[in-house]
A and B are shown apart, each in its own frame.
Chain A
């Protein structure tokens, strides 16, 4: 902000110097003019000369300008930027391209129209393209927008890169710059104008030819096109998108596939909720088979799903001699490990209240201390039980492992706790276990997972 203001001031200062030089030369020829007149001249000259100044990229406007009342290119550019970034008031444009096509107040359209006339297209940089594209779409001048894109890509005026950079771009850099422009255009068209999906896809294809090391991003973007084409029932675009996705996936390295799997895992989880829940209502095995099939494409298998959860270890059990997880019941097993579980207790209480048939199991370990005191393991285990069952008031079974620690030699003397079996196998997770002791689902200790557990428990309890 400061830089922008200072560059503005510098530009004005430069103007002042030029103008004052002109005025002084005149004054030597004619009568000496009063000071007020000079200032008036100076202001008038600035007002008339601003369109030229606006073409210089470094002169960015103040963001404080009220864009509806602008009358010089600085404010004009400010209007563009504000329209792009700040959905401030009822008459400002939304950041989202799709919203641009909804009703736009007339005064905003007028402001955008004026801006378009005042900015030289051939001098636009790639960064400036994004707001300008939106601006053209705002005033329904799709043809002009396409024209700008073509002029930028062809490098008319050689302004596709930053004008402040004096060194010429190499061939490779130029290709990358053009690919970036294609990418901006493709995404803008994709989100703003459904009718131009074919054009957007052709721009995306140009990107794909250059972005050979960004396959994961490319595939994810093509998925957007795929969804859009499906919603529009555009069979040609749909076919083209599928073809591109399969082509790129074939070229993927294993590492990229794993990365892709991580990204898509959540998407699939959400996209296939009804199918998953149906399969779980049928049986745990059907659910696990569906999960495995979905993930097999990307070489990631949820090996723990469907396997039988081992009996939880622990010297201290409440109730005593209980085998946990409890057979014949749906179990929700919390193994905090190194992470605090305080935030999920309300969620666990709610689930228990809703589905009284489930068994909540809290598996922890001793650490030699409780709150502000050092305590013996048996005492600590009892305190942890009281904390969960009586203080937090969570109806649950508690199992506490006694963890052994060893000391670093003098003078360090730090205690190092070993990893206990429960934490090694199941630490830092919540586990959903079915009536037969098979693992159905697991998630991080996070209260955001409540809805998912809720659905799964409901489906699990309906199993025949």
Chain B
């Protein structure tokens, strides 16, 4: 369903693409990619709505290859005269440009893998009326006002549709197979919504943050997020200092996701087999190749991380060959990602195991209250800074800051708030010293032009290294 009258829609894109193809001189190949999007956001600071934005645009990328010369242009207007001028401009560029000799390549039509269906579109997100959006923001602000707290927040609703076309091909086809070399057009549309807010006291003593993102606005409970931010703000008042050292740490889902993200992002078989990542094991001199850690236990046995594209809470942009995968099973690395080309060359198969930004870490039975009760001395970490610095890529030792004040636990109870500190640790070390795992929940992970949802539990780890206090902050 097209949310806005100015968005192009599948039929509109097809019609325009065909029109563009007819406008070309006919030589060589033409590549057209559409991206049509709209977004609305509301942001507020100190309990006052500052900006409310509603924007949309159509981006059309047109590229021509004529006898080895290449030229392209991106436009955002779809009138016939503009399209004609653009095509003329591109063809002139291509004809005047450097002619590269085409390397002869005898090619076969590739085997097309199936596209999985993923949950990435929500009418609720796309069609939420403007008035309702403003009311949501106002009701959230009123909750903070009632508790004499200041707040800032950001609400955003996005929808995007895209489609690509290819007409003609520079590649010479092998044999007399009638299958077309033109890659088929795929239409994708998705929505994304995010809601995040920070509560703080007038004197700046306490701070509490809560946020959530999803493709579906109805999955985001704004009221409970506001309550969580308020509770955390009150808990983190009058923060004190803690000496650096190794502490039992309860990593709330947002904090845990910062570390797990690095584990999931690196699951690439090609790079691991070049000895460049944490999943490389050792060089096999006999065979002249690198062995990986596939099959080895790398994390605590309670940790299982995987992704299923059909999971309604883990919808990602659909790609050909995307299938359910488990990266870590009971702490053991059981899969690494590779594409179709790798599979053909090294595995003699035609099926890829693609990397994706989304994941689910299986949860455990322990609630955060039980974790606190069972802790003699430790800290609760709400979040970690997003720009962690990796000090050692092989061992994944990284450093960064905690965010939104920590809470100190003494004798099974939260005793006080603590100012943020620098930590230096590795997920490989921390997730081998797991004491308990809580239920898994969706986290706040918005991204531009893609979907990166994740479901992460609260994790209690031993000996988490807080290395420096941050008095200056």
| Interface residues of A, Cβ cutoff 8 Å to B | 342, 368-374, 383, 386-387, 391-392, 405, 410-416
Instruction: Knowing A372-B108, A372-B110, A373-B111, say if A412 contacts B292 (CB, 8 Å).
Output: yes
Instruction: Knowing A372-B107, A415-B348, say if A386 contacts B174 (CB, 8 Å).
Output: yes
20 contacts between A and B (CB under 8 A): A342-B104, A369-B345, A369-B348, A370-B108, A371-B108, A373-B108, A373-B111, A373-B350, A386-B174, A386-B175, A387-B106, A391-B104, A391-B172, A391-B174, A411-B294, A411-B334, A412-B291, A413-B347, A414-B346, A415-B348
A410 proximity list for chain B (CB < 8 A):
295
CB distance from B358 to the nearest CB of A (A): 23
**With the chains together, A413 CA to B172 CA distance in Å?**
33
CB distance from B50 to the nearest CB of A (A): 42
B110 proximity list for chain A (CB < 8 A):
372-373
Q: Which residue of B lies closest to A345 (CB)?
A: B104
B348 touches A392 (CB 8 A): no
B174 proximity list for chain A (CB < 8 A):
371, 383, 386-387, 391
- Does B109 make an interface contact (CB < 8 A)? yes
- Does B103 make an interface contact (CB < 8 A)? yes
B273 proximity list for chain A (CB < 8 A):
414
B106 touches A371 (CB 8 A): yes
Question: Which one of B287, B292, B344, B345 has the greatest number of beta carbons of chain A within 10 Å?
Answer: B344
Instruction: Knowing A373-B110, A373-B111, say if A368 contacts B104 (CB, 8 Å).
Output: no
Q: Which residue of A lies closest to B288 (CB)?
A: A416
A412 proximity list for chain B (CB < 8 A):
291-292, 294-295
Kindly identify which residue among A342, A370, A383, A414 contacts B289, using a CB–CB cutoff of 8 Å: A414
Kindly identify which residue among B106, B344, B347 contacts A386, using a CB–CB cutoff of 8 Å: B106
Overall SS of chain A's interface:
mixed
CB distance from B274 to the nearest CB of A (A): 13
A405 touches B292 (CB 8 A): no
Q: Can you list, as one digit per residue, whether each of B273-307 has a CB less than 8 Å from chain A (1) or not (0)?
A: 10000000000000101011011000000000000
Q: Which residue of B lies closest to A410 (CB)?
A: B295
**With the chains together, A405 CA to B175 CA distance in Å?**
27
A374 proximity list for chain B (CB < 8 A):
344, 348-350
B347 proximity list for chain A (CB < 8 A):
413-415
Beyond contacts A372-B109, A413-B347: 5 other A-B pairs, Cβ-Cβ < 8 A, are: A342-B104, A369-B348, A387-B106, A391-B172, A414-B289
A369 touches B294 (CB 8 A): no
Instruction: Knowing A386-B174, A387-B106, A391-B104, say if A368 contacts B348 (CB, 8 Å).
Output: yes
**With the chains together, A402 CA to B344 CA distance in Å?**
17
CB distance from A54 to the nearest CB of B (A): 44
B344 touches A369 (CB 8 A): yes
**With the chains together, A251 CA to B345 CA distance in Å?**
51
A387 proximity list for chain B (CB < 8 A):
106, 174
**With the chains together, A100 CA to B65 CA distance in Å?**
50
**With the chains together, A130 CA to B175 CA distance in Å?**
64
**With the chains together, A372 CA to B340 CA distance in Å?**
9
For the complex of A and B, the 6 pairs showing the least CB-CB separation, nearest first, are A372-B110, A411-B294, A411-B295, A391-B106, A373-B108, A371-B108
B346 proximity list for chain A (CB < 8 A):
414-415
B334 proximity list for chain A (CB < 8 A):
411
**With the chains together, A405 CA to B349 CA distance in Å?**
14
**With the chains together, A415 CA to B343 CA distance in Å?**
10
CB distance from B78 to the nearest CB of A (A): 34
CB distance from B296 to the nearest CB of A (A): 10
B344 proximity list for chain A (CB < 8 A):
369, 372-374
CB distance from B17 to the nearest CB of A (A): 25
Chain B stretch 104-155: residues in CB contact (< 8 A) with chain A: 104-111
A416 proximity list for chain B (CB < 8 A):
287
B108 proximity list for chain A (CB < 8 A):
370-373
CB distance from B334 to the nearest CB of A (A): 7
CB distance from B114 to the nearest CB of A (A): 17
B111 touches A372 (CB 8 A): yes
**With the chains together, A405 CA to B287 CA distance in Å?**
13
CB distance from A414 to the nearest CB of B (A): 5
**With the chains together, A410 CA to B344 CA distance in Å?**
17
A391 proximity list for chain B (CB < 8 A):
104, 106, 172, 174
**With the chains together, A371 CA to B350 CA distance in Å?**
12
**With the chains together, A153 CA to B139 CA distance in Å?**
87
A368 proximity list for chain B (CB < 8 A):
348
**With the chains together, A370 CA to B174 CA distance in Å?**
11
**With the chains together, A387 CA to B175 CA distance in Å?**
10
**With the chains together, A356 CA to B324 CA distance in Å?**
58
B345 touches A392 (CB 8 A): no
A386 proximity list for chain B (CB < 8 A):
106, 174-175
**With the chains together, A3 CA to B348 CA distance in Å?**
54
CB distance from B51 to the nearest CB of A (A): 41
B106 proximity list for chain A (CB < 8 A):
371, 383, 386-387, 391
**With the chains together, A342 CA to B101 CA distance in Å?**
13
**With the chains together, A392 CA to B105 CA distance in Å?**
9
**With the chains together, A368 CA to B273 CA distance in Å?**
21
B104 touches A392 (CB 8 A): yes
CB distance from A186 to the nearest CB of B (A): 45
Q: Which residue of A lies closest to B109 (CB)?
A: A372
**With the chains together, A410 CA to B347 CA distance in Å?**
11
CB distance from A341 to the nearest CB of B (A): 12
A383 proximity list for chain B (CB < 8 A):
106, 174
B348 proximity list for chain A (CB < 8 A):
368-369, 374, 405, 415
**With the chains together, A34 CA to B291 CA distance in Å?**
77
CB distance from A227 to the nearest CB of B (A): 41
**With the chains together, A374 CA to B295 CA distance in Å?**
27
**With the chains together, A371 CA to B340 CA distance in Å?**
12
A371 proximity list for chain B (CB < 8 A):
105-108, 174
B294 proximity list for chain A (CB < 8 A):
411-412
CB distance from A129 to the nearest CB of B (A): 44
B109 proximity list for chain A (CB < 8 A):
372
Q: Which residue of B lies closest to A412 (CB)?
A: B294
Q: Which residue of A lies closest to B344 (CB)?
A: A369
B175 proximity list for chain A (CB < 8 A):
386
CB distance from B180 to the nearest CB of A (A): 14
B287 proximity list for chain A (CB < 8 A):
416
CB distance from A380 to the nearest CB of B (A): 11
Q: Which residue of A lies closest to B287 (CB)?
A: A416
**With the chains together, A387 CA to B346 CA distance in Å?**
23
B349 proximity list for chain A (CB < 8 A):
374
Q: Can you list, as one digit per residue, whether each of B79-121 has a CB less than 8 Å from chain A (1) or not (0)?
A: 0000000000000000000000001111111110000000000
B291 proximity list for chain A (CB < 8 A):
412
CB distance from B176 to the nearest CB of A (A): 11
Chain B stretch 398-435: residues in CB contact (< 8 A) with chain A: none
Q: Which residue of A lies closest to B336 (CB)?
A: A411
A373 proximity list for chain B (CB < 8 A):
108, 110-111, 344, 350
B105 proximity list for chain A (CB < 8 A):
371
Chain B stretch 324-355: residues in CB contact (< 8 A) with chain A: 334-335, 344-350
**With the chains together, A67 CA to B291 CA distance in Å?**
59
A405 proximity list for chain B (CB < 8 A):
348
A342 proximity list for chain B (CB < 8 A):
103-104
A370 proximity list for chain B (CB < 8 A):
108
**With the chains together, A405 CA to B344 CA distance in Å?**
13
**With the chains together, A414 CA to B349 CA distance in Å?**
10
B289 proximity list for chain A (CB < 8 A):
414
B345 proximity list for chain A (CB < 8 A):
369
Q: Which residue of A lies closest to B333 (CB)?
A: A411
CB distance from B298 to the nearest CB of A (A): 13
Q: Which residue of A lies closest to B103 (CB)?
A: A342
Question: Which one of A342, A372, A391, A413 has the greatest number of beta carbons of chain B within 10 Å?
Answer: A372
A369 proximity list for chain B (CB < 8 A):
344-345, 348
**With the chains together, A126 CA to B107 CA distance in Å?**
59
**With the chains together, A432 CA to B335 CA distance in Å?**
48
**With the chains together, A374 CA to B349 CA distance in Å?**
7
CB distance from A49 to the nearest CB of B (A): 45
**With the chains together, A289 CA to B345 CA distance in Å?**
45
CB distance from A281 to the nearest CB of B (A): 36
